[in-house]
């Protein structure tokens, strides 16, 4: 089969290769991949800015159809339309697994990072990480369930947004736009912040329910101050992955606010913590998720409280992966899909 492989450490070193088809273990299902969504993490892996363990097949956002099952698989059957968490192995025994935080497992292995992922014709995954797609979710939308779970984790579980909160989302990329929808589903007033070149993304943010969009440096934060009586946002969710965006969140969030850090930076960042300390703000990293997060994400998708299809900006063959990665880097559009079966 064809697969997009990170062959060795270092910048680049990604090739489209012919590799053997995987065979499911006793507790795994074999999935024919219909769509794989490119994530910022894939770009960081290309640039050698994210810890990884080559050689492996890239890709951890996907949807597809079960074509074979292991002997002990009971929850899935051949023909099921599915999506998958990125976790290929968690130990189930460490303090994190025991408390439900499987993403923090000390022995966690993730597909597309440590072991073979989904930018291939087929991928094998353990049954407990695989979820059936709701009937009203197609394969394109379903390939982005993983970033929906990331947004749900940030908004529902880390920020614990409640009705009436003023939530500022900085960075209108795909995860930022999903955070907008997740916060709106809880009754929050959402302020979306972007920069020059983000015009299309900010407009989509309005369509997703953001009451106010701010494009810096063109726009000021005066309207945010107006709707918060000068206090600032109750919660700031940083999705941009830049020191300027983080500093902006610190400055525009109120005293005692929660600052949820979702964006990955890819390199060292510099920012001044004094303001956050003086304002007694709480910095909360948000990166992983658990099975329950995924169930909630799928419920929100099925209920149409979150939608992913408007985020699809283009499709590419596996052989066109370089063009697809270039589009992600260009920041034009939102999400780009690789289609292994075409």
Neighbours of 57 (CB within 10 A): 22
Successive 10-residue mean pLDDT values, the chain, 342 residues? 95 95 96 95 90 92 97 96 92 90 89 94 95 94 94 97 98 96 98 94 97 94 96 97 92 97 84 92 93 93 94 95 94 91 76
d(CA 182, CA 177): 9
- Identify which of 96, 158, 151 has the alpha carbon closest to the alpha carbon of residue 298: 151
- The pairing of beta strand 81-84 with beta strand 166-170: unpaired
Long-range Cβ contact pairs of 73-81 (< 8 A, separation 24 or more): 73/24, 73/26, 73/27, 73/28, 73/29, 73/127, 74/127, 75/127, 75/128, 76/29, 76/127, 76/130, 76/132, 80/132, 81/132, 81/133, 81/139, 81/142
CA 101 to chain centre: 17
DSSP state of 304: T
pLDDT digits (tens, 9 = 90+) for 165-221: 999 999 999 999 999 999 999 999 999 999 999 999 999 999 999 999 999 999 999
Q: Are the C-beta atoms of residues 192 and 214 closer than 8 Å to each other?
A: yes
Q: Looking up tokens 């020059």, which residue turns up?
A: 196
Contact between 181 and 151 under an 8 Å Cβ cutoff? The reply is: yes
Domain ranges of the chain: 2-144+308-339, 151-285
**pLDDT given at position 295:** 92
| pTM across the whole model | 0.93
β-strands 81-84, 212-216 pairing:
unpaired
Closest CA to 155 of 308, 41, 293: 293
Class of domain 151-285: alpha beta
Closest CA to 27 of 65, 70, 67, 68: 70
Which residues lie closer than 8 Å to 127 by C-beta, 6 or more apart? 27, 28, 29, 69, 70, 73, 74, 75, 76
pLDDT of residue 101: 85
Q: What is the pLDDT of residue 290?
A: 86
- The pLDDT value recorded for residue 264 is 83
| Contact (CB, 8 A) for 205 and 213 | yes
Q: What is the pLDDT of residue 52?
A: 87
Residue 333: the pLDDT is 86
* Residues 6+ away with beta carbon under 8 Å from 154: 175, 179, 182, 237, 260, 262, 286
The per-residue pLDDT for 294 is 93
Domain 2-144+308-339 architecture: Alpha-Beta Complex (3.90)
């Amino acid at each position: 089969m064809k697969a997009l492989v990170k062959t060795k450490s270092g910048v680049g070193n990604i090739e489209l290769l012919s590799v053997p088809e995987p065979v499911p273990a006793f507790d795994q299902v074999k999935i024919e991949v219909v769509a794989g969504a490119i994530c910022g993490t894939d770009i960081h892996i290309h640039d050698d800015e994210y810890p990884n363990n080559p050689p492996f097949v890239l890709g951890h956002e996907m949807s597809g159809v079960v074509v074979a099952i292991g002997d002990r698989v009971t929850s899935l059957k051949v023909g099921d339309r599915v999506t998958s968490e990125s976790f290929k192995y968690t130990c189930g025994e460490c303090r994190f697994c025991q408390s439900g935080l499987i993403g923090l497992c000390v022995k966690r292995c993730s597909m597309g990072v440590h072991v073979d992922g989904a930018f291939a014709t087929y991928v094998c995954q353990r049954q407990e990480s695989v979820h059936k797609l709701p009937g009203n979710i197609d394969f394109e939308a379903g390939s982005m369930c993983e970033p929906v779970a990331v947004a749900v984790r940030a908004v529902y579980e880390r920020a614990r947004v409640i009705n009436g909160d003023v939530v500022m989302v900085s960075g209108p990329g795909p995860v930022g736009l999903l955070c907008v929808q997740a916060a709106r589903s809880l009754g929050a007033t959402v302020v979306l912040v972007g920069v020059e070149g983000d015009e299309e993304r900010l407009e989509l943010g309005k369509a997703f329910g953001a009451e106010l969009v701010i494009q810096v440096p063109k726009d000021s934060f005066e309207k945010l101050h107006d709707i918060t009586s000068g206090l600032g946002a109750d919660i700031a969710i940083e999705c941009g992955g830049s020191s300027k965006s983080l500093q902006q969140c610190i400055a525009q969030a109120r005293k005692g606010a929660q600052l949820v850090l979702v964006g990955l930076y890819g390199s060292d960042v510099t920012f001044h913590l004094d303001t956050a300390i003086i304002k007694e703000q709480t910095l909360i990293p948000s990166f992983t998720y658990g099975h329950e997060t995924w169930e909630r994400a799928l419920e929100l998708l099925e209920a149409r409280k979150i939608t992913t299809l408007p985020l699809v900006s283009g499709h590419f063959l596996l052989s066109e992966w370089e063009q697809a990665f270039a589009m992600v880097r260009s920041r034009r559009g939102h999400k780009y899909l690789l289609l292994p079966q075409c």
